[in-house]
Amino acid sequence: MSTTIYFIGAGAIARSHAEAVELLPNADEIELAAADPTPAARKRFAEAVDDVRLYEDSESMLSEAVDPDDFVVVAAPPFTHHDETIAALESGRHVLCEKPLAPALDEAEAMLKAARENDRLLGSCNCRHYRTPGTERVKQLIDEGAIGDPYHVTWITRSQRGRPGIEYQPESKWFLDRSKGGGGIVMDWGPYEFATLEDLLVPDSVDVKHAWTAQPETAVDPEDIPFDVETHGGATLVYRTDERDVQVTYERASGTHGEERDVTEIEGTEGAIRWDWTEVGTSTVTLATDNDGDLVEESIAVTPDEDIEAHDRPLVYFDRVVRGGDAPIRTGAEAITSVAMINAMYRCAESGEPQRVDLSKIA
C-alpha cells in the first residue's frame, strides 16, 4: 500500500505544498489526493498537479484505507482548521495544519487533544520562517554573550499596500472576513513571529502590556463584502524568565499610510543585533558593539546547511518527523502557543486590559 498525502483545500497554498512533494526522499512512491468544495479550485489543482485524486469533501476522501505514514495537509481557510484537523486525526492520519493553527486557543487545544488521543502528530506550517539560518546565528551570538543581557527587541514589519484579499491574492476574500480568517494581519503573520520570538527568548510567560489594531482606509476598500479585520496592529510585550525581562516592541502592517519599515533588532547591555528573520537562504547578521567608546558594526555572513525554500519547508520537515527524524518544525503543544499570543494581543486591544500568557500552562 502506498503512502498518500491528502490536501484539505486545493487553493494557492495547497498548490505550493504539492510542488514540495518532489523534494521528499520517496517522492516517486507517494500518492496525492485533494478535497475542495469549489470546482474551479479542483480544476486548477488538477492542472497543476499530476495524478491527484480529487474529492468534493474531505469526509469521502478520508474514508480511504489508511497507511501509517499518511498525512493530511489542512490548507483551507482558518475557520475550517479545527473541524477538518480533528476529523483527519480521527481518521488515523497525521496532520500538518496551515497557520494560524486555529483562530482561538480553545480550538487549538481541542486539536492537540485529538492528536494525543489518536496517537498522531499535529504540526504547524509556521515553520516556514522558523529557526532560519540567520535566527539560529543570532541565538548563538546571544548565548555566547556577544550583546550582554538582552533587554529590548524591535520587531516591526510595515507594508503600505500588501493587504491579503485586496493587493495580495485578491481572489481570496476570506482574508478580509474575521469570521473566516479569525483576524487580520496579526492572525496572518503572528504565527511565524510569535513562534520565533518564543524560540529566541524562551520565556516562561509573556505579558501583553498594551495592544492596538487599526484599519486605515483606502479608495479600493471593498464595501459589498465583510471587511472587518485589522491591517495594522501593534503591542508592547514583556517576555519574562526568572533571569530577565525583555521588552518587545511589536508592529505589523499590511496597509498603512506611514512609511514602509522592516526592523528586527535585539538590544543588549553590550551590543545589538539586526537581521532578516524570514530569510531562509544566504543572509547577513549585523552585530554592533562598543570598542573604546565607538560603535563598531560587524557583518556576519550566514549560509544555510540545506537549500529549501520557505514554502517548501513545512511539507519537507513534517515528512521528516512523521518518519521519525528531526526537523525545525513545531509539533504538539509547541504548535499552538502562537495562537495563545495572538488571542491575548486581540483581547488586550479590545479591552484595554493587559493580558498574561503563561506558556507552562499551555497543554
CB 74 within 8 A of CB 67: no
C-beta nearest to ligand NAD: residue: 11
Rounded Cα gap, residues 110 and 116, in angstroms: 10
C-beta of 38 vs 286, nearer to ligand NAD = 38
Q: Does 48 bind ligand NAD (CB under 6 A)?
A: no
DSSP assignments along 193-211, one per residue: HHHHHHHHH--SEEEEEEE
C-beta of 100 vs 203, nearer to ligand NAD = 100
CB 234 within 8 A of CB 193: no
CB 280 within 8 A of CB 127: no
Task: Give the x/- contact pattern for ligand NAD in 283-322, rule: CB under 6 A.
Answer: ----------------------------------------
Beta strands in the chain (DSSP E): 4-8, 31-35, 52-55, 71-74, 94-97, 122-124, 150-158, 205-214, 232-240, 245-253, 261-268, 271-274, 283-291, 294-302, 355-358
Name which of residues 3 to 42 contact ligand NAD (CB under 6 A): 8-14, 35-38, 41
CB 244 within 8 A of CB 267: no
- Closest separation between CB of residue 207 and ligand NAD, Å? 27
C-beta of 175 vs 275, nearer to ligand NAD = 175
Rounded Cα gap, residues 318 and 62, in angstroms: 19
Candidate segments 46-54, 75-83, 113-121, 351-359, binder of ligand NAD by CB under 6 A: 75-83
Q: Does 91 bind ligand NAD (CB under 6 A)?
A: no
Rounded Cα gap, residues 136 and 275, in angstroms: 11
- Closest separation between CB of residue 99 and ligand NAD, Å? 6
Candidate segments 2-10, 207-215, 293-301, 320-328, binder of ligand NAD by CB under 6 A: 2-10
Site size toward ligand NAD (CB under 6 A) is 24
C-beta of 194 vs 239, nearer to ligand NAD = 194
316: CB partners within 8 A, 6+ apart:
20, 23, 24, 308, 327
- Closest separation between CB of residue 139 and ligand NAD, Å? 24
CB 90 within 8 A of CB 65: no
Task: Give the x/- contact pattern for ligand NAD in 99-138, rule: CB under 6 A.
Answer: x---------------------------------------
- Closest separation between CB of residue 322 and ligand NAD, Å? 20
Q: Which residue in this structure is represented by grid cell 509573556?
A: 206
339: three-class secondary structure by DSSP:
helix
C-beta of 87 vs 273, nearer to ligand NAD = 87
Task: Give the x/- contact pattern for ligand NAD in 54-73, rule: CB under 6 A.
Answer: ----x---------------
Closest of 345, 155, 133 to residue 261, by C-alpha: 155
- Closest separation between CB of residue 38 and ligand NAD, Å? 4
Q: Does 52 bind ligand NAD (CB under 6 A)?
A: no
CB 202 within 8 A of CB 350: no
Binding site for ligand NAD (CB under 6 A): 8-14, 35-38, 41, 58, 75-78, 80, 84, 98-99, 169, 172, 188
